[in-house]
Amino acid sequence: MNTDALTTLIESSDLDGLVRFVDGLVTSRDWGGIEEMKDRCREAVERGKQVWGPAEYAEYRLALDAPADRAAAVLGDGKGRYGPGPLWEVAASRHSWCEMESLVSIPTLRAMIGHERAIRGDTVDPDSIDSHIVEIPPVLQPWEPIYPVAVYRADGVDFPEGDRVPLEWVDLPEAGRQVDDEGPADALLALVRPWWDESSGHADAVQVEGDALAAIRSIGPHRARITDVTLGEALAAMAWTGSSGGAYGSRRGTPVGRSLAWWVLATLLGYDEMPDDPSDLEEAAELRWVLWDPGDAVGGWALHLAVEDPQDGVAWAISAVDMA
């Protein structure tokens, strides 16, 4: 590593130059050099230099590209909060559970990485992580979909939503009579809480007497584009939503999104806490699940979902949008 060049870049607060410097060290696989650069930038921040961004970028590239031991060394609670995603998720996107298991001792990080790797196909022993941190098993159930996961790159990140079936226009019936509800509607809103707590989004959720279309009408639109979907498709949409921080909030990660989606199922089925047997949640496949949108240019981050319980004659709908 060229220490003289690094000193010049830091002292001149050349942010673009420091990012290119990190990229060069990654290309040469000089992991020790990246760690030194990170530490020197942190020291410079304490002297008033505005080089915290390149320091975070260095940690990001270590989590993404370095061997597992180097990646694990930069992890910590809250790390990556101001980046494209939490550093534990960045590291877990590139390193297997076998590589990471013995290197991570902080219970929260260990649980999150274990769940992320299970979602990505690794076998994770439930007894190897703290079950109180993510209160669902790190084992994909037969009734679950293949969840869309974040794809981290050197120059950014993609959050694929997965395949969505086409929507068709329908005229909506009269709005259903709204019913006070502190269960499923609150669980649906929990999926998008960072969108208004930390960002600029808004959300509405209702419970009504009637069907899914009456619930959508209660949100506001007279017409909407809709499609019926399977439980798996609805779970994928909810997990994608619950994983995100919206346009400006901090990303929570796929394990959190999956757990929140499970909680929606539990509340819809009348549980006050998560059932001991995960297979009990498969009963939610008997509900009617509908993805919809108001038809105008939604863009940004959005979730429009309705669910109907035909047996009890009640339905719920959520409309949530956050624009960049």
- Do 147 and 127 sit in the same domain of this protein? yes
**235 and 181 together in one domain:** yes
Q: What pLDDT was estimated at residue 77?
A: 65
| Residue 320 pLDDT > 70 | yes
Q: Is the pLDDT of residue 192 over 80?
A: yes
Residue 42 has pLDDT above 90, yes or no: yes
pLDDT in tens, 65-88: 999 999 999 997 666 566 789 999
How sure is the predictor about 14, in pLDDT bands with cuts at 50, 70 and 90?
very high
Q: What is the pLDDT of residue 1?
A: 78
Percent of the chain with pLDDT over 90: 85
Instruction: For the sheet with 288-293, list strands across it.
Output: 168-171, 223-229, 288-293, 301-309, 314-322, 202-209, 177-178
Query: What is the pLDDT at residue 161?
Result: 84
pTM: 0.93
Mean pLDDT score, 39-63: 93
Is the pLDDT reported for residue 35 higher than 70?
Answer: yes
Q: Into how many domains does the chain fold?
A: 2
Q: Which domain holds residue 234?
A: 168-322
Which of 294, 170, 168, 284 has the alpha carbon at shortest distance from 232? 284
Domain-ending residue, one of 128, 158, 188: 158
User: Is the pLDDT assigned to residue 310 strictly greater than 60?
Assistant: yes
> Reduced to 3 states, what is the DSSP secondary structure of residue 146?
coil
The pLDDT of residue 232 is above 90: yes
Q: How far apart are alpha carbons 209 and 175 in whole angstroms?
A: 9
Same domain for 89 and 66: yes
Q: Which of 158, 177, 209 is the last residue of a domain?
A: 158
Together in a domain, 172 and 64: no
The model's confidence at residue 148, banded by pLDDT at 50, 70 and 90, is very high
Q: Residue 230 above 90 pLDDT?
A: yes
pLDDT at position 121: 96
Q: Same domain for 134 and 172?
A: no
Mean pLDDT score across all residues of the chain: 93
- What was the pLDDT predicted at 216? 97
Number of Cβ within 10 Å of residue 4's Cβ equals: 8
For residue range 249-300, list pLDDT tens digits in order: 999 999 999 999 999 999 999 999 999 999 999 999 999 999 999 987 566 7
Question: Can you give the pLDDT at residue 79?
Answer: 65
- Whether residues 85 and 224 share a domain: the answer is no
Residue 60 has a pLDDT of: 95
- Judge whether 96 lies within some domain: yes
pLDDT of residue 319: 96
Q: What pLDDT digit, counting tens, does each position of 197-225 carry?
A: 998 899 999 999 999 999 999 999 999 99
pLDDT above 70 coverage of the chain, percent: 97
Contact 305, 317 (CB under 8 A): yes
Domain end position, chosen among 130, 158, 186 = 158
Examine residue 195 and state whether it is found in any structural domain, yes or no: yes
Helix ranges, the chain (H)? 3-11, 15-27, 31-46, 52-65, 68-73, 87-94, 97-100, 107-119, 184-190, 193-197, 212-219, 231-243, 254-268
Domain annotation covers residue 163: no
Same domain, 234 and 103: no
* 192, 205 Cβ separation under 8 angstroms: no
